[in-house]
Amino acid sequence: MGRTPRISTALLSLMKRPEHHAWTLDDLQAGLARRAVAADFSTVFRAAEKLVAAGLAAKLMLDDGRARFELAGAHHDHLHCTRCDELVAVPCVIGREAFAGLEAETGIAVSEHRVVLGGLCATCRPLEPARR
Partner DNA sequence: ATGAATGCAAAGTATTTGCAGTCTA
Partner DNA sequence: TAGACTGCAAATACTTTGCATTCAT
Distance CA 83, CA 125 (A): 9
φ/ψ of residue 58, rounded to 5: -125, 150
CB 18 within 8 A of CB 27: no
> How many C-beta atoms lie closer than 10 Å to residue 78's C-beta?
20
Q: Which is nearer to DNA, 7 or 57 (CB)?
A: 7
Among 1, 42, 104, 112, which residue sits at the site for a second copy (rule: CB under 8 A)?
A: 112
- Using rule CB under 8 A, residue 84 touches a second copy: no
Q: Site size for a second copy, by CB under 8 A?
A: 38
Binding site for a second copy (CB under 8 A): 59-65, 67, 79, 82, 88, 90-91, 93-94, 98-99, 102, 105-122, 125, 130
